[in-house]
Structures are given as structure tokens and as C-alpha cells.
Structure 1
Amino acid sequence: MNKICMNRKYLGMMVASLLLVLGFINGFANDTIKTNTEPIYELWEREPVPHLIIETEADVRGNKLKYFPYDEAWEQWSYPIGNGYMGANIFGRTDVERIQLTEKTLFNTGLYGLGGLTSFAEVDIHFNHKDVEDYKRSLNLNEAIGHVSYLSDGVRHTREMFISYPDQVMIINLKADKPGALSFKLAPQIPYLNSLRVADKKTGTVVAKGNEIILSGTLPNEGNNFEAQFRILNDGGTLTAEGGSIKVEGANNVSILIATGTNYKLSSEVFLNNNRIKLDPSKSPHERLSKIIGSAASRGFESLKERHVADYKNLFDRVQINLNSEVSALPTHKLLASYQSKTKDTYLEELMFQYGRYLLISSSREKTLPSGLQGVWSAYEITPWTGGYWHNINVQMNYWGTFAVNLAESFEAYINYFKAYHLKAQDNAQAFLKKHHPDKISDDRSKNGWAIGTGATPYKINMPGGHSGPGTGGFTTKMLMDYYEYTLDKDYLEEVAYPALLGMSRLFSKTLVPQDDFLLVSPSASPENPITKEQLEGMPGHLAENGRHYVTKGCTFDQGFVWENHSDVLKLAEIMDIKEPFLETIRSELPKLDPIQIGESGQIKEWREETTYSSIGQRNHRHISHLCPLYPGTMINSSTPEWKAAAIKTLNLRGDETTGWAMAHRMNCWARLSDGDRAHKIYQLFIEKKTVPNLWTLHPPFQIDGNFGVMAGVTEMLLQSHEEVITILPALPKAWNTGYFNGLVARGNFVLSAKWTKMNLTNLSVTARSGGTCRLKFDKPEKAHVVDANGKKVKSSVSEKGILTFETKAGQTLQVVL
């Protein structure tokens, strides 16, 4: 068993604990939280995805590129399904159904020298049903299944579509309610064969034989051999293979199975290999895919569906939530339009939260690559910003809410990715120090730590520089720390978390240079906020090589993450009872970091040289990197009221309306500041301005980090645990004055369920997965007491600060009687 993956005993305890929480609340509290009538969450429409022209769009630099299209139908109307390995977008059309496939490892030359995700295949299913009635297409979030249903010539046609994680195939099940009434042609295609870029010119074939189609080829950029296998399982009718398609005539029902893959394998060697061709061109995914699709075919549709639903619901069903809402009767685009124009239906806010959980499960699983900038979906040859892992906020935002929404397993994808790139990151540290601090390089490679820059893909990682300083590494280790604090997985602590954080502190220590009485990171930059030539005049720093970003010493972004990482290392060392000389170095450096400075406008400075707000940088820039010590960091908290006041001033000066993911960051910051109404206002603005009919969210264009960011924001409004105490309803907005949640997770591996009415907490229970001391903060704790499942009172105490404290045993569920 892989020790650093969540062990199966822990998973079993997690599910059992949730069941205990739900059953305990229903059977033990007077005011029960109903769990047997949870809503069916659906995205649905009465029309197929419209046929819209795919237009050429200017890229981020304004250049017209024929290979950089804008596909509005795909981006705004199609429904995404996925299993972490692959993704599909379904259109629900009745004439020619379009299914667009993405596979995470198929990369072309992309942008910025990193390579980029590219569309894997287009699949057409020709039905030729033009006059239809009683049409509905939907995406069921409770089961992760797409549905289409309609009448054509008196026949009811239905489709079910899903992508199974346990069986690693996409399944399209087609039915007609009259015998022999199902006929269609399956015709997959390789997209973008005629690339304008030489290195991206694919070669490939689509060959049909019997009940199988094999789509295969090579993308020369990384020596990437790709293949998709299609198999038709038919009940009745005839099959005719013609070239690269199969005609089905007169069937009763049909299942189409699809397996995709490339010759990519996640390993350290991929990142260490400096050749342009990183993969072995002699390797093919054919044999592996044949086994996958053969095994799936032997199970049959009903078994595949049962296994898929069981696997998915084990994750999705862990959390129930109600935000003072009732299920809307409107199709999704009308629900969104109504919200954007007049009626702020809190059901849409609730739906968006659960949709974020759905997208996370669909794009990041234990044995897959992590969720990228577009999750696991791209219809484009050149995916915007490569579709990769951007480490100056975007990949972190993808996982901010992961642990609290009870989906910690999804982060195992990033843990495995980190393990693969770690050796290359150690090379990066060597190179970074050689360039900037050659006198500090140690002959012992392990003493130099590791470094990661902004851009990363399954093939490459960058070195810090340009518009972001080395604090990017601390931004990354904060995720690794969170995984431990939420799961308390000791094997992971020993094998991954502590070594990773210790290595980052070793690098940070070598980047610190004395200035006055302080130690400042050098070189340092605040992600992506540009500076004008006028602002640069008289400043001690200089412009980066790109000529837009200011490089100096001691930016808040870098200083803050040195503080966070150093503090976390010491915390982990104490847990493990480790004593070594370098820990004393960390302790001596912490007081000299001076990470937060307040400027003349009462703002938190982004740069130490800053005077009044925006004397350096753009006034309303999307990034709020200098507020990362507030969220996702922990340095700005209730014990630093002056810093909190400056954070409020900074957020007000920066403004609420910006790009999608950046609004999500602001929402989380206001939640941390306990201003639920302001956080909710930004959530509303985000849905109004940055959300499209399939509920994907835009930067623009589509980036999935916004979906995940607001999911985290909702959780942060309902439950916080970053100050070594679990705060219930810390930022509850008036719009959610009545509601409940079941199954949210706090640090310390506690599962919480709560109910409130008219802003007052009425029910609260805690399941301790790992046991230990539980500290709760909520209104009027002095009136509460704690009982176990037998109604026996548990010893508890309330501190002067209003913290209810009691001891728990692993697996125990306790009720807080209010």
C-alpha cells in the first residue's frame, strides 16, 4: 500500500463517521436535519446546445491566431463529465450529437515554452432526428450522469452518459422505447490535424472493424502517441463498419464504451529529461487500453453504471447543504438569467457549491494528474494559458476548499505530481541559488531545498522569476500543510509534508539577505502586478526581463510565505519531536521577517517601497498577493487586529469587481474577516458577471479555478478552523439566515454538522475521525453541554474567550446540546 495516499482504513472510518453524524442528528436532536429528502441537483435545459460559429479570437496579447478559436457552444452550453483521467463535453444534440474528448496528458507546443493541453478527439453520433418533442438534457450532480430524452416520430429516445473512475471508460448508453427503433452512425475524428505549427502536426488514423473503432496517432511535440478505442455493445440490430465509422441499424439499445490514453507516465524522469522529446516514441497505450475496454465490456452497462455511481456517491454524498433555499423549477439558463437580472435565488448559490464539488471529483482523483487551469476539459488546439498548473494562485485555488468539503482524496493527485517533479525542483533550487546567491550553495544537494516557479505542466516546471518571487514555493507548501492538518495522516507527515516544508525553508533561508534589522527575500516580486516607468523612477529595484514587473527585496507575498512555511515547519517538527540545528536557524529568522507593513493610506503594503496605496502597481489589479497572509495563510488573524483593519482597507481600495478567480479570492478574504454579507455580495457579483449557462466560470475565458474558489468561499463562510479552534458560522450572511450543513470538515480531522434558524445555531454535532481535543467557537457556548451517542454528558469547559473544549475518541460522534 502506498503510505502517503490516504489509507483505506481511514477512508472506511471517514464514511462510517459521516453516517454516524447523519444518523445521530436525525435520531437524537429534537430539531432534526432532514437527510432523506436531499435535493437532486441538476443542470438542465429544454433545448440541445445551440449550433454556434466557432470564431477566431484574439489571444491575451491581441494577436489574431487561426489556431486560437473561441467555441461559445462548448464553453458556455455543453455539460462536462470526467473521471480525472479524461473529460468529455456533451451537447445533447438530436441531429448530430457532438461529444468532445480531452485527455490530460496529450500536450502540444502550447504557449510560453511549457507545452499545452490540446483537444483529444471529436466524436459525432449521427441520429438525424430533426423534428423532436418533449426534449430535455440534464447533468445530474448526485450521480455524475448526463441525460438526454426526447420524442421523435413517436419513439422515446434516451441517453445516459458518464465517465467511470473505477473502470476508466466513458459510457454512452442509448435506448429507444420501441423494438428495433434505434439507428445511428458513430464517427470519431482527430481534431487539428492541419496545425500551423510544425511540431504540432499530428498524424493519425481512424479505423473501424466489427464493433470497434481505433483512433490513434502521434503528436510529435513530446513524442506523444495517443489512442482512443471505441466498442459498441448492441442489443439487436446490425452493425456495419465503414472506414472510420460504424452504422448501427434497428437496435433496441446500445452501449458505446470509450477508452483514451497516451504513452505518458508520471515520473521524475519526465521532468528531469531536458530533451525536447520527453516520451519514448516506441511506447504505445494500445495494449493497456485494450485491457481496459475489454474488462469494461465484460461487465456490461448496468454493472458499469452501478460501479460508477457507488464510487462517485461515496465522495459526493458526504456533504449536504441548504442555504435557505428550495429547488428551482427553472431550467439552468433561466435560473441564471433571473439571478443576473433580479431574483437572487439562494438555490443557485447552493447549486454552484455542489457543482464545484462535482467538478473537483470529475477532474482530480487519487491516481490521476491534478486538476489544471481548465480542469480536465479543453476543446482547443491551443488551450488558454496552456491549461496547466499555475502556481502563483490558480492551482492552489483549485484545492483551497478540497479538505473542508470532505474530498481530501482528490488532493492525492497533486501529492503524486509533487513527488514526480520534486527532483527537478531541487535542480531548480540549485540553478536559482547559482544565479542569485552563489555563495550560499551547499555541496549537499539536500541542503539547498527545492524551488518552483509559476508555470507547470505534466512535463515541465518553471523556476521562480519574472513576475513572481520564490514565495511561490511557500504558496505550494501551504497546500501540503493543509492536507496534513485536515487528515492527520502520520505516514504522509513523515514521508511528504515534513521533508517538503523543511526543504522549502532551506531554500528560503538562503534567499534572505540582511537589510537594517530585518531579513528580506531577494530577489522578490509580487505576482503579475505591473509597474509603470514613472512608478519605477527612484525605486531601488528594477524591471524583470519582461520589462513589466518590479523586482526588489522583501515583497509581502514572499515574506509572508517564508513566515507561513517556517512556522509550519516548526509546528510539524514539534509534532514529530524532531530536534536539529536548522530548526534553530528558522526560529532565529522568524522575528526578522517583518512580513506586514502598513502604508500611508492605511493599506497593507504590497512592496516595502510603497508609500500611499498604488504608488507602485495597478490600483485595481486582479491579484491580491499581499493578502495571501490573510487567506489562504494564517498570519493575519484575530490576534492581529491592526493587520485585519489594514486588510479591510486594502480590499476596499482594490475593489470587488475583477476577473473571475480574483473575485473568488476576495470572497474568501472577506469570509476570513468575518464579514459574511460582503463575502456574499461578491459571490452574487461573481454569479452575475462571471458565470455562464453551464455554470462554468470565466476569467475570461473559462478557467475552473473560479468554480473551486467560490466553493471554498461558501465553506469558509460556514466553518473556519485556521486558528486552532473550530468556528461555526463565522461569516453567515443574512441571505442564508436559515439552513444547515452536514459533513463539512475542520482541521484536526473533525466532521461537523450544524443547523441554524434566523441566524441562531440550533443543532451541532461533531465526529472525531482521529480523536483528540476539540475546541468550538459559537454564540453563547456557556449555555451548551456535550453528550455522547447514549445521551451521557461529556466533560467540557468554556474558556474566558468563549471556547467550548472537550476531549474526543477516534470515531466518536458527539452532540453539542444548545
Structure 2
Amino acid sequence: MKLHWPSQAAEWTEALPVGNGRLGAMVFGGAGRSRVQVNDATVWSGTADGPSRALADVLAAGAGPERLEEVRSAIFSGDLERATQLLMSFEGPYSQTFLPYVDLWITLPEGESHGRTLDLNTGVVTERLTIDGAKVVRRVWASETALCVEITGAVPLDVELTTPLREVSRDGLFLVVDIPVDSAPKHEPQVDAPVYGSGERGTVTAKISHDDRWLLTLTSTTTTESLWAGKRHGDHMTLMDACDVRFGDLPDVVDVPELLQGKDEQLTASVLFAFGRYLLVSSSRPGAPPANLQGIWNGELRPAWSSNYTININTQMNYWAAEVTGLAECHEPLLQLLEKLAVTGAEVARSLYGARGWVAHHNTDAWGWALPVGMGHGAVSWALWQMGGAWLVQHAWDQFDFARTWSTLERAWPLLRGCAEFCLDWLVEGLDGYLDTCPSTSPENWFLDSGGEPQALTWSVTMDVVLIRAVFERTLALALASGRADPLLAEISAALPRLRPIPVFDGRIGEWVADLPEEDPTHRHMSHLVSVYPLGQIVAGTPLGDAAVEVLDRRGNGAMGWSWAWKMALRARLSDGETVRSLLSEASQAFTGDRHRDAPFDGSEWGGLLPNLFSTHPPFQIDGNYGFTAALAEVVVQSHTGVIDILPALPSGWSHGSARGLRCRGGLAIDVSWESGEVVVRVRRLSGDAAEVVPVSIGGEITEVVVSDVVEVRGRVSC
């Protein structure tokens, strides 16, 4: 698939992304002086000892297990104001910032640009220019080790490197910079940012060769790169070629401004599926940190929410598509971050809460930040959420569940076991015999108390309970698969039946432990439906599935990029292809508001797509792009129930299409083609030697097939 823009970029939101997981660049294009804005995934503010120093400060201020007991007592007695004030003492400062790095300026004589084309398969941006009557072609891509710029044509060239960071030294195109030791998010305006000190450094080298063309290569080293073990491997084209999904017909080249007019919904779906995979391939590879709120592309010293990891939904959404679309390798950096958190989060769990295992909260960063954030004034609705690790660790299960290999099992086991330990110790005896989480919040949402005042604190919100249930059940499943005997398993088995059931009030799944009025009935977070997607604990056509539909109907469609994507995935899981279609239509509209202003959270300025197809709130957040890919995969195949369900949420009128290389749980892959209701499915085994009986559902008709290598199944669906 090739995407075409007819002009050069006038600003960052029009520039085109390239990357190799470590180096990322935004390509502006144009004759004259043009910009290539460069990031290095390892360039983060902060220091390795930052999390431990912050924990010591929080403990010195009085937070700890004894104060936690005071908080719990206040919540159970109904004194939420006191509980809130006590909890704020548990807040550390803030996690650190993913920073811009350098700008590569390329000066050519003035001329005319004939547009830029991004080839998703190769990862190359090609621009054709006319300069002094001659044809000039510029190509930009990220190889395994360098950012490359190739210019063909008889044209003079000048190259310059600049940096928004503090410059240490330079020698021509050799540049050394200081990386700040601290950088606060924009929502802490009283804190100066960035702050320099005795921190880390980065070195950039650009080299130019000239034979019958100009070839410029830019490489980077940083003093933090050794913290991310693992060699970058797997070339871009191999990863992109692992999976392909097409709804309807595709042109050879897609005109993006025309696409953004919304005239062809199937083409839009095909492009967004492929573009999300392209962004993950470009921003997440072994040997570098995982994709953050902006993937690997950030041009601001103080980006929104520090361009770090928000782990109450956004980081998870970044990786929902990894396994199902054949990008398990791109999942690796997130698993490596989990392994960091299992270390830093263990000290936080022990010191702050008197608990075993490990914990994470609302944010983390490249250093493995595990404390609550908020600086003592962050709202408890988001800052004091102890389930960040319990949700993030589900990715270790997913990696095993899709691959079903011994190596993925052995990697997942210590992560889930440690998380289960924390969850066991976090649970307390409730007022009515259940085991409860307390304090408990539903991320970023509020209810109204009896006096009509917004409150966030209670016990056992639905999201807490379903996440812990998933951690416990999946830890037991890993132990069974590996034949382990572990004393912790008896504790888990005793605790599981004492978790609260999912509440239903007035036909809807409840967000809180009681039927509490919502401050914002159309809130963007769907936290209490995590059991539907991604966890798969609630399925379509059941009483709880119907209660989930009632929640979605009440919340409504509109939101911002990532929330649209989550709602699309939820509707797909609930077999509602028509609402998937309407959500996609909303989410893929061209955003016409102010791209440079951070919009309010109330949904009054819903974001669509920026000119370069980035999803926006605004500001730009890449999770929406990744989420669209994951949701569209759910339209084509689902395997969370143990049945391979083909086209379970296909919108009407999407009468033909194909999918190649989508993965299913159990070490399987499928290829699908459909035309006017006729469906052909090929099921392939990717791992394991033994033949296995696999149920395949097409249009509700289930066929059991024995899969040892490749098997073909045919059926019909309504489309």
C-alpha cells in the first residue's frame, strides 16, 4: 500500500513518519531548506535512580502501610474527604519525558515539490521535485542502524544539524548533547522544564557520500541504550508482509486528502489497518523502549502527558494489535518494560503498601517508574490507581496465549505470579464477606455522592475485580500448563471465589460497587468493560454481554481517537458490525479544529485524523491509530472463546475482501477471503507438533477441523 500527499508539509502534523524502532523521523519535504525531525527512542529525561529517590521521599513524608490502613478505615466509614487527603501523600512527583533529539536540515535550491509518497511495505518516503528544470528524487527511510536520505539528480546540497537540547560539542556533522535530568509534564506548569545536570548524553553523527547520488546517513548512540538489551532484528518488509487485511478494492496509490473526505469507508478501513501496523513496526522493536503516547515521534520539549506511558488504557492499546496481526516481535519491548516494572514495582509494593509482588499505577517511563504520580495534588481519580500492573501484565499472557510455546510460558510465569502476589495482599476483608480492593477508583471517572458532590474513592470498582480475576485465572492456567506446584496457587484458588461478581444495575454493567450516579454519563473511558475487550471474560449473546451493550448505548459513540478505537473493539466483540462502521466513520473524519491546542476532556472538541493520518484528541496520541488496527482485526476474526470465529462483526455492504496472516490463540494463523457471502478460510498451525481439533465458526455454523499443518473450511456469512 502506498499513501500519497500532493504537497510538502507546512507543519509537524503534516510530516510523514519513518522509523526502525530506535530512530524515528518526521519527513517534511520540499525544495529549499527542508526539515527532518529526528527522535531516538532512548532519549528520555531522568536518571536510573530517579524512581528509588522519589519513593524514599514519599516514605519520608509519612506514606506507607500504616497510613494505608487509615485510608481504608476512612473509606469504609464513608469519610471520603479524609481518605482523599491521606492518599495524596502517597503521590510522588511525575514520570519522565520522551524528548525530541535533533533536526536534520537539508538545503537544496528552490524548486517545486510534486508531493510525497509513503510506501508502507518498504517504509520509504519518496518525494519528486523539479529544480532548475531538472528532475530530483529524494527518498527517506530508516534502515536497521541509521536514518537514510538519498537524493538523485544533479543538485547542490547543504546539510545542518540542530538540537532543542543542550549542546555539549560539535564538529561538523558530529554532535554531542546533554539529556535533561528532569522534565515535568505540561500539566505541572509551576515546575521548570527541562532541568539539566549530571545526566545522560547522546551523540549524533551524519555522514554524506556522493557518487552519482547524494546519500546521507544519520546514526545515534546514547549512554542509556545499554539499559535495553536485545538486538534489533527483523527487517521492515518482513514484518509488514506477515499480515494483510483488505476490505473491498484497493487502488495502487491512495490519495490521502481524498481519503479524508470519507467517501469510501472500506478503503478507509483498509488504510487504517495497514497504517497502524506500519506505525508499530516503525516504533517498537527489540533493543529499544516500547512505543509511547506518540510512538517514537515527538517534536516538543514539553509534550502532552510527557509523551510517556499512561497505563490505565493508552499503553495497552498500543499493543492490542501486536499478536493478532503477526507482530509478536514488536511486542517484545513492552514485555521488557514489564520486566523492569517487576523490579522497581516490587520495592514500591513492599515499602508503600506492605505487600508482596510488584505494583504499577497510572504512569511509567523508560526508567520503570512504579510510584503514583501527582506531586501531592493530582486527583485521586487517576493518580491513585494500583491496577496498572494488573492490566499491563495481561500482555505477558497474550504473548503466551497466541504462541503457546515454552519460552513464552516461562517468560509470562514470573510476571503474572508476582502480580498475583500483590493482588492477594492488596485484597482486604470487605464489609459483607467478599474480598475487596480498597482504595479503589475507576480510572479518570467520578461518581456523585448523596450530596451531589463528585467523588472517586470507593472499594472494588468493577475494573479492579475483573483485572484481578484475570490475573488469578491466568496464573493458575500457566501453572497447569507448566506442571508447576507452587504454594501461591492455593492462596489464589481460595481467593478467587471470594471476589465480587460483576454488578448489573438497571440492565447495565455497573462501574462501581454500588449503583452510583455518574458525574459524566458519556465518559470517554470504558473501564468497566475491560472484561469484554480485551480480556474476553464477557461474550456476546449472554446476559452480561447484553448488559455491556446497554453501557455502550448509554455512553454514546463520540469521543476522541483512542476512545473511538476502544468502542470499535468492544462493539466488534459484541457482534455489532453496524456500530463499528459508524464509529469508524466518526473517527476517520479529518480534524478541522486547532491542531496546536490541547482540547478539553469533555468531548466538546472530538478529534479525528490529522493530515498525516495521525489520530488526535487533540493533541496527537498514537494509541488511536494502533487501536483502529486491533478493532478492525476483531471484525475479521476472534478466538478468545476457544472458537475461531470468522467475520463475526462484518458491516453490511462490505461484501468482499481478504485477510492473510491474522493470528489466533493456540499458535494458529488464518487466511480468509469472502465474496458475496461465500467464505473460504485456511487455518495454519504455527507452533506445536501435534494435530489438534479446532472449532471454526462461519456465519454461526461451527465446523470442527483437525489442524496439523493447513486445513481449508468453507461457509457463508450475511454481508
Q: TM-score, normalised by structure 2?
A: 0.83
Kept in 1, the 8 Å contact 2:405–2:687? The answer is: no
Q: How do 1:423-438 residues align onto structure 2 when only pairs under 5 Å count?
A: 423-434=343-354
SS in 2 for 1:566: helix
Matches of 1:779 and 1:817 in 2, distance apart? Answer: 8
Question: Aligned residues: percent identity?
Answer: 27
Match of residue 93 from structure 1: 30
Q: Contact (CA 8 Å) 1:767, 1:814: kept in 2 or not? A: no
Aligned to 2:560: 659
Q: Which amino acid aligns with 1:172?
A: V
Alpha-carbon distance, 1:329 to partner? 6.0
Counterpart contact for 1:124–1:186, Cα < 8 Å: yes
| Letter aligned with residue 739 of structure 1 | G
Counterpart residue number, 2:139: 160
Q: Go from structure 1 to structure 2 and tell me whether the alpha carbon gap of 1:492 and 1:549 turns closer, same or farther (over 3 Å shift).
A: farther
Query: In 2, Cα distance between the equivalents of 1:86 and 1:386?
Result: 19
The CA deviation at 1:458 is: 0.6
User: Cα–Cα, structure 1 residues 806 and 432, in superposed 2: closer, same or farther, change >3 Å?
Assistant: farther
> CA–CA distance in 2 between the matches of 1:469 and 1:47?
45
User: Given the alignment, which residue of 414, 433, 458 partners 1:499?
Assistant: 414
1:473 aligns with 2:389: yes
Equivalent position of 1:756 in the other structure: 674
Contact 1:189 1:206 in 2 (8 A): no
Q: Secondary structure at 1:401's aligned position in 2?
A: helix
Tell whether 2:622 aligns with 1:704: yes
Which letter does structure 2 place at the counterpart of 1:469?
A: W
CA gap 1:502/1:109 in 2 versus in 1, 3 angstroms: closer
CA displacement 1:478-525 (0-9 Å, x = unmatched): 11100001111212312x211111111111111112221311111211
The yes-or-no answer on 1:729 pairing with 2:647 is: yes
Partner of 2:283 in structure 1? 363
Match of 1:74 in 2: 12
Show the counterpart of 1:169. Answer: 146
Q: Hey, what's the Cα distance between the residues in 1 that align with 2:315 and 2:549?
A: 25
1:114-125 to 2 correspondence within 5 Å? 114-125=95-106
Trace 1:437-516 onto structure 2 (pairs within 5 A).
441=355, 448-463=356-371, 466=380, 467=382, 468-494=384-410, 496-515=411-430, 516=432
Structure 2 residue ranges without an equivalent (≥5)? 48-91, 183-198, 374-379, 590-606
Tell me, yes or no, if the aligned pair for 1:768 and 1:813 is still in contact at 8 Å.
Answer: no
Indicate how the Cα distance of structure 1 residues 490 and 668 shifts in structure 2: closer, same or farther if over 3 A, else same.
same
Distance in 1, Cα, partners of 2:640 & 2:307: 31
**Shift, 1:633, TM fit:** 1.0
CA distance in 2, matches of 1:514, 1:314: 52
Deviations 1:314-361 (A, max 9, x none): 11111122201232766211221x21xxx2342121011101111000
**Alpha-carbon offset, residue 137 of structure 1:** 1.2
- The answer to whether residue 7 in structure 2 is matched with residue 47 in structure 1 is yes
Matched, 1:695 2:613: yes
Which amino acid counterpart does residue 263 of structure 1 have in structure 2? T
Aligned-partner residue type, residue 279 of structure 2: L
Deviations 1:710-758 (A, max 9, x none): 1000001111011112111111111322111111000011010011122
Is the Cα–Cα contact under 8 Å of residues 679 and 714 in structure 2 kept in the other structure?
Answer: no
Which whole-Å CA distance do the structure 2 matches of 1:360 and 1:88 have between them?
14
1:584 corresponds to which residue?
A: 490
Residue 76 of structure 2 corresponds to none
1:599 maps onto 2:515 in alignment: no
- TM-superposed CA distance for 1:538, in Å, is 6.5
Distance 1:464 1:650 in 2: 29
- For 1:185, the equivalent position in structure 2 comes to 158
Q: Give the deviation of 1:768 after TM superposition.
A: 4.1
Answer yes or no: is 1:374 the counterpart of 2:294.
Answer: yes
**Is the CA contact 1:472–1:558 (under 8 Å) kept in the aligned structure 2?**
no
Equivalent residues, number = 627
Q: Once the 2 structures are TM-superposed, how far is the Cα of residue 628 of structure 1 from its aligned partner?
A: 0.4
Partner of residue 129, structure 1: 110
Amino acid at match of 1:564: A
The answer to whether structure 1 residue 207 and structure 2 residue 113 are counterparts is no
Contact 1:47/1:136 (8 A) holds in 2: yes
Cα distance in 1 for partners of 2:660, 2:549 equals: 31
Shift of 1:470: 2.4
**1:747 and 2:665 aligned:** yes
- In 2, the alpha carbon distance for the partners of 1:759 and 1:488 equals 33
- How far apart in 2 are the matches of 1:805 and 1:773? 10
Q: TM-score, normalised by structure 1?
A: 0.73
Contact 2:404 2:687 in 1 (8 A): no
* Residue 324 in structure 1 maps to residue 248 in structure 2: yes
- Between stretches 356-365 and 116-125, larger displacement belongs to 116-125
C-alpha contact 2:312 2:362 (8 A) present in aligned 1: yes
Residue 262 (structure 1) aligns with: 222
Render the CA deviation track for 1:196-240: whole Å, top value 9, x for unaligned.
xxxxxx2333321xxxx10112134160211110001111xxxxx
SS in 1 for 2:359: coil
Question: Conserved in 1, the CA contact under 8 Å of 2:2 and 2:253?
Answer: no
Gaps of 5+ in 1: 1-40, 51-72, 194-201, 236-251, 271-291, 293-306, 435-440, 442-447, 782-801
Are positions 1:620 and 2:539 aligned together? Answer: no
SS at match of 1:261: strand
Does 2:443 correspond to 1:517?
no
1:403 counterpart SS class:
helix
Cα separation, 2, equivalents of 1:329 and 1:397: 28
Q: Are positions 1:561 and 2:467 aligned together?
A: yes
Indicate conservation of the 8 Å contact 2:341/2:370, yes or no.
Answer: no
How far, CA to CA, are the matches of 1:457 and 1:690 in structure 2? 27
C-alpha distance in 2, partners of 1:568/1:732? 30
Taking only aligned residues, the RMSD between alpha carbons, in angstroms, comes to 2.4
Match of 2:705 in 1: 806
- In the aligned structure 1, how far is the partner of 2:357 from the partner of 2:451? 34
User: Could you tell me whether the CA contact under 8 Å between 1:43 and 1:694 is conserved in 2?
Assistant: no
User: CA 1:459–1:580 in 2, change beyond 3 Å: closer, same or farther?
Assistant: closer
DSSP-derived class of the 1:108 partner:
coil
Kindly state the Cα deviation for residue 460 of structure 1 after the two structures are TM-superposed.
4.0
Counterpart secondary structure, 1:326:
coil
Looking at structure 2, the residues matched to 360 and 650 of structure 1 have their Cα atoms a distance apart, in angstroms, of 31
Task: State how far apart, in whole Å, the 2-side matches of 1:817 and 1:648 are.
Answer: 30
State the one-letter code of the partner of 2:392. Answer: T
How much has 1:583 moved relative to structure 2? Answer: 1.2
Q: Write out aligned runs for 1:208-287 (5 A).
A: 208=172, 213-221=173-181, 223-235=199-211, 252-265=212-225, 267=227
- 1:182–1:253: 8 Å Cα contact kept in structure 2? no
- Structure 2 counterpart of 1:65: none
Task: Pick closer, same or farther for the CA change 1:581–1:221 going to 2, 3 Å.
Answer: closer
Residues 99-143 of structure 1 deviation map (CA, whole Å, 9 limit, x = unaligned): 00111222337995322112101111111323x27x131111011
Compared CA separation, residues 419 and 266, structure 1 to 2 (3 A): farther
686-695 or 563-572: which moved more? 686-695
